[in-house]
Structure 1
Amino acid sequence: MSEHTITVAGVAIDTRHWIGGERVASAQTFPDVSPIDGSTIGGISRGTAMEAAAAVAAAKAAFPAWAATSRAERARILHAIADGVEKRIEELSIVETTDNGALLRSHRRGVMPRVAHNFRFFADWLLKLEHEDFETRGHTNHVSWDPAGPSVLITPWNAPLMLATWKVAPALAAGNTVILKPAEWTPLTASLLADIAAEAGLPAGVLNVVQGYGSEIGDALTSHPDVRRISFTGSVPTAKRIAESAAANLTPLSLELGGKSPLLVFADADLDLAVDLAVEQYDNAGQVCLAATRFLVEESVAEEFTRRFVEKAGQLTQGDPRGEATDIGPNIHPLQLEKIDGFVQRAVAAGARAVIGGHRKDGQYYAPTLLTDVAQDSEVVQEEVFGPVLTLQTFATEDEAVRLANDTRFGLAATLATGDPERAERVTAQLVAGTVWTNCFFVRDLQAPFGGSRHSGVGREGGTWSFDFYCDLKNTVTSPNGWKNHG
């Protein structure tokens, strides 16, 4: 076995970058640590500006041929990648669970099948992508989507492969070449994706994977003049740095950022349903950008809602995410755990009450927490915690509920529980959010636009919106005159 290969549950993973169809090692490595038990999985090639330049050069060299590849052939290769993912769902699942601590059963049943679906969906959407021609004073307008060029995709650690392929699949389908930079805390499945793509026949240089820290390789990627698109999912502060870096070259950006989403529970709601939706916000140990972390509950049902919530949350099992019965695993990293606990302890010191939780457990596990007696302008209500920490506030009127829901700098999502369809229509029309769920949560379709308002992001992706971002749209206007020498 190569010195650059590590194994996770018998799965061999190359720790080097994938650049121009070849494995490339860096002079230094960084440790990849499992949040399950704090053990070091292995050393990962630590990229610098040199590897960034090489990856962009490879993507630039491969772009003309890939852009000229027919839609049908691009779609065929994307389906072949999906086939490769489906053949390795078990391997990808155990590797990703080891790397980021999310539930193994969720990876097997939902997340990794969704990875394959990402490729299939955008392959199929590509083949039907069109805009009907239209006339202007006898002239014909024809809209087309031209591949934009090398694209840098910077992806997060909370759902590494699924969120990476949510970007990689449409970028490749659009005819762009890609430089994928996974989060340094969860690099492993991106390396496996490079192998799967190569086995599926994706030409060398079309997909490149580089690893490392944002300050060492990320800045070099986002400031590169040959990069024509940048898509990033992560924190607001990092997004601001990326935007500054990209500004010099006017590189278009797509930013999917944080959230502080509300769950509005009205007195006319099915309380059992509302409680189920509320407990679901602990999914992935609270490390979900879309999570409705702020419960806004009508005063008349707040006591009963809280009683049922505490009972339901008490049935959750926290522990090793590889266990079939586990509901909540660890948080990703000691730094993140420190951040989560800091939010809670400062809130309690300011007068908040921990109805459940409010403390660390052994290792990198944090007890599912619900805080009450929190002020609207408090840090824990206004800022994204990104852990299993929820707050509960009450409201007296519909107008107050909407005001509280919209009173943060974010606008990623919102969830509404009500038994009145007219109220649902009134309230959802007033909520500032990219996605609103009524009496449900986390139902997502790749046909729908996805993104956030305010500090939750810039732009929308999904369906044709993804192609609008990854392409240069062209309108060709043709006069009916001038064909006199033809035919």
Structure 2
Amino acid sequence: MTEHILTVAGVAVDTRHWIGGERVASADTFTDVSPIDGSALGEIARGGPAEAAAAVAAAKAAFPGWAATPRAERARILHAVADGVEKRIEELAIVETTDNGALLRSHRRGVMPRVAHNFRFFADWLLTLDHDDFATRGHTNHVSWDPAGPSVLITPWNAPLMLATWKVAPALAAGNTVVLKPAEWSPLTASLLADIAAEAGLPAGVLNVVQGYGAEIGDALTSHPDVRRISFTGSVPTAQRIAASAAPRLTPLSLELGGKSPLLVFADADLDLAVDLAVEQYDNAGQVCLAATRLLVEESVAEEFTRRFVDKATRLRQGDPRDETTDIGPNIHPRQLEKIDGFVRRALAAGARAVIGGHPKDGQYYAPTLLTEVAQDSEIVQEEVFGPVLTLQTFATEDEAVALANDTRFGLAATLATGDRERAERVGAQLVAGTVWINCFFVRDLQAPFGGSRHSGVGREGGTWSFDFYCDLKNTVTAPKGFKDHG
């Protein structure tokens, strides 16, 4: 037993899968490495087709009972899961920081409380989920949300537990059973979630957690004939493979993919606010899908904006994410760091200028970077880097700003800084994005629809939209006559 337990910053984490309410080992393992210092944290069970089949079978077996569980009881258990998360916020925070390198202070104060909120929100939303009956020529229409079945949830490494529970919570609230596959670069808090859910009274098989590589266990999950829903957050190429895998069975998909979001700064904006918004894009070492990595600044204020940006950005502290004074931690993995540096080196070779940064630092840290003199059709402007790298371009007119903002294959988010309310409404309406922030950034409410346009995704989740995805919607039409009176 102890051979399967890691001690991470004093917290015990089981490295095995969680299938059907039991810990299950695999013959093979993979090494989990901390991005903080490159140290090996331990060996994690490496699943494949056999573990995928077992997890889906467990979810299928548990589905009838969980689907039939009254809404109020499902909500009660989800609130108990939230209670368990809140009791272990410090443990979850330090394990996730060690595992993925994000700031410990952010995990303590924002991310892990949000994990608990995810469960509470969807538990409460379930109890209010309703649609008014309506009449058609005297007949009554009644809309209901029926649980769809076993759901496969594949989650990313940049905010592992928060983004996992953004999917797990509504899927469970809807009455579905779940197979969660966390990213292999950050698997540890998903294992702790399995413990918390079991302690909260979630029945065996309702939540299963399997670990491993996408090509080995992910493909087996997404192609399984008993899977009724697939939700994925990650890259476009991986989403394309998942969609191809799900296509023969027409398994419904929800895909939240990459972004190359713009931040439009007009001359009438509060420049200090605009600079704050721009520097905020370095959050989580730039590993945020929503990040506005393309700064589009009106020509007349570009020089002053750049001066203020450089002054603020160069004062950011980069280092150990466990230090309360650190602003930017490491990037997740040597492969990711190499990818980031490759983008920057190719951009510099093509004529871009690094105003700040432009190079890796010691270990898995990349210097916050701002590139100017970049062409609109260049790789660095068009493709997602997923690191602390921003580009700056200028525009002369509002129409040009909108054209530049919309000129990528992505459409996840957009941010707009302006002092003119009419312009904000006018430009915001023209931006191709799932979310538009005006004079703010990263303000998210779980009742709002979330997702992307174009190559940034398929579908929307949040509030009732989540239940629309995780359920089969049914309309029952009842005639006003034809029933016998048994009174």
- What's the TM-score once normalised by structure 1's chain length? 1.00
Q: Offset of 1:142 from its aligned partner?
A: 0.1
Q: Offset of 1:281 from its aligned partner?
A: 0.1
> 1:427 aligns to what?
427
User: In structure 2, what is the Cα distance between the partners aligned to 1:464 and 1:252?
Assistant: 17
> 1:471 aligns to what?
471
User: In structure 2, what is the Cα distance between the partners aligned to 1:263 and 1:432?
Assistant: 13
> 2:244 aligns to what?
244
Q: Deviations over 1:219-241 (max 9, x none)?
A: 00000000000000000000000
Q: Offset of 1:90 from its aligned partner?
A: 0.1
User: In structure 2, what is the Cα distance between the partners aligned to 1:486 and 1:91?
Assistant: 60
> 1:343 aligns to what?
343
User: In structure 2, what is the Cα distance between the partners aligned to 1:277 and 1:204?
Assistant: 45
Equivalent AA in structure 1 for residue 186 of structure 2: T
Q: Offset of 1:484 from its aligned partner?
A: 3.0
For residue 194 of structure 1, give the secondary structure of its aligned residue in structure 2: helix
Alignment partner of 1:170 is 2:170: yes
User: In structure 2, what is the Cα distance between the partners aligned to 1:482 and 1:280?
Assistant: 64
User: In structure 2, what is the Cα distance between the partners aligned to 1:260 and 1:206?
Assistant: 36
User: In structure 2, what is the Cα distance between the partners aligned to 1:206 and 1:22?
Assistant: 12
User: In structure 1, what is the Cα distance between the partners aligned to 2:483 and 2:364?
Assistant: 72
Equivalent AA in structure 2 for residue 106 of structure 1: S
Equivalent AA in structure 2 for residue 121 of structure 1: F
For residue 386 of structure 1, give the secondary structure of its aligned residue in structure 2: coil
> 2:353 aligns to what?
353
Equivalent positions of 1:436-447 (< 5 A) are 436-447=436-447
> 2:309 aligns to what?
309
Equivalent positions of 1:235-384 (< 5 A) are 235-384=235-384
Equivalent AA in structure 1 for residue 2 of structure 2: S
User: In structure 1, what is the Cα distance between the partners aligned to 2:246 and 2:484?
Assistant: 47
For residue 109 of structure 1, give the secondary structure of its aligned residue in structure 2: helix
For residue 26 of structure 2, give the secondary structure of its aligned residue in structure 1: coil
Query: Where in structure 1 do 4 or more consecutive aligned residues deviate above 4 Å?
Result: none
Equivalent positions of 1:181-260 (< 5 A) are 181-260=181-260
Q: Deviations over 1:326-362 (max 9, x none)?
A: 0000000000000000000000000000000000000
Q: Offset of 1:315 from its aligned partner?
A: 1.1
Q: Offset of 1:287 from its aligned partner?
A: 0.1
User: In structure 1, what is the Cα distance between the partners aligned to 2:352 and 2:188?
Assistant: 39
Q: Offset of 1:413 from its aligned partner?
A: 0.0
- What's the TM-score once normalised by structure 2's chain length? 1.00
Across the two proteins, how many residue pairs are aligned to each other?
487
Equivalent AA in structure 2 for residue 256 of structure 1: E
User: In structure 2, what is the Cα distance between the partners aligned to 1:422 and 1:264?
Assistant: 15
Q: Deviations over 1:428-459 (max 9, x none)?
A: 01000000000000000000000000000000
For residue 288 of structure 1, give the secondary structure of its aligned residue in structure 2: coil
> 1:150 aligns to what?
150
Equivalent AA in structure 2 for residue 109 of structure 1: R
Q: Offset of 1:486 from its aligned partner?
A: 3.2
User: In structure 2, what is the Cα distance between the partners aligned to 1:301 and 1:238?
Assistant: 40
User: In structure 1, what is the Cα distance between the partners aligned to 2:123 and 2:385?
Assistant: 36
User: In structure 2, what is the Cα distance between the partners aligned to 1:357 and 1:10?
Assistant: 36
Q: Offset of 1:483 from its aligned partner?
A: 1.9
Q: Offset of 1:2 from its aligned partner?
A: 1.1
> 1:51 aligns to what?
51
Equivalent positions of 1:80-99 (< 5 A) are 80-99=80-99
> 1:482 aligns to what?
482
User: In structure 1, what is the Cα distance between the partners aligned to 2:250 and 2:437?
Assistant: 35
Q: Offset of 1:30 from its aligned partner?
A: 0.1
Q: Deviations over 1:159-196 (max 9, x none)?
A: 00000000000000000000000000000000000000
Alignment partner of 1:15 is 2:15: yes
User: In structure 2, what is the Cα distance between the partners aligned to 1:12 and 1:347?
Assistant: 44
Q: Deviations over 1:184-219 (max 9, x none)?
A: 000000000000000000000000000000000000
User: In structure 2, what is the Cα distance between the partners aligned to 1:284 and 1:486?
Assistant: 65
Alignment partner of 1:67 is 2:67: yes
Equivalent AA in structure 1 for residue 181 of structure 2: K
For residue 185 of structure 1, give the secondary structure of its aligned residue in structure 2: coil
User: In structure 1, what is the Cα distance between the partners aligned to 2:142 and 2:376?
Assistant: 51
What percentage of residue pairs aligned between the two structures are identical? 90
User: In structure 1, what is the Cα distance between the partners aligned to 2:444 and 2:180?
Assistant: 24
Q: Deviations over 1:439-485 (max 9, x none)?
A: 00000000000000000000000000000000000000000101233
User: In structure 2, what is the Cα distance between the partners aligned to 1:473 and 1:350?
Assistant: 52
For residue 3 of structure 2, give the secondary structure of its aligned residue in structure 1: coil
Q: Deviations over 1:7-49 (max 9, x none)?
A: 0111000000000000000001000000000000000000010
User: In structure 2, what is the Cα distance between the partners aligned to 1:53 and 1:226?
Assistant: 9
Q: Deviations over 1:400-429 (max 9, x none)?
A: 000000000000000000000000010001
Q: Offset of 1:3 from its aligned partner?
A: 0.6
User: In structure 1, what is the Cα distance between the partners aligned to 2:483 and 2:247?
Assistant: 44
Alignment RMSD, CA only? 0.4
> 2:37 aligns to what?
37
For residue 145 of structure 1, give the secondary structure of its aligned residue in structure 2: strand
For residue 12 of structure 1, give the secondary structure of its aligned residue in structure 2: strand
Equivalent AA in structure 1 for residue 229 of structure 2: R
For residue 293 of structure 2, give the secondary structure of its aligned residue in structure 1: strand
User: In structure 2, what is the Cα distance between the partners aligned to 1:419 and 1:192?
Assistant: 46
User: In structure 2, what is the Cα distance between the partners aligned to 1:366 and 1:199?
Assistant: 40
Q: Offset of 1:314 from its aligned partner?
A: 1.1
User: In structure 1, what is the Cα distance between the partners aligned to 2:136 and 2:484?
Assistant: 21
For residue 437 of structure 1, give the secondary structure of its aligned residue in structure 2: strand
> 1:393 aligns to what?
393
Which ranges of structure 1 fall in alignment gaps of 5 or more residues? Answer: none
For residue 251 of structure 2, give the secondary structure of its aligned residue in structure 1: coil
Equivalent AA in structure 2 for residue 305 of structure 1: F
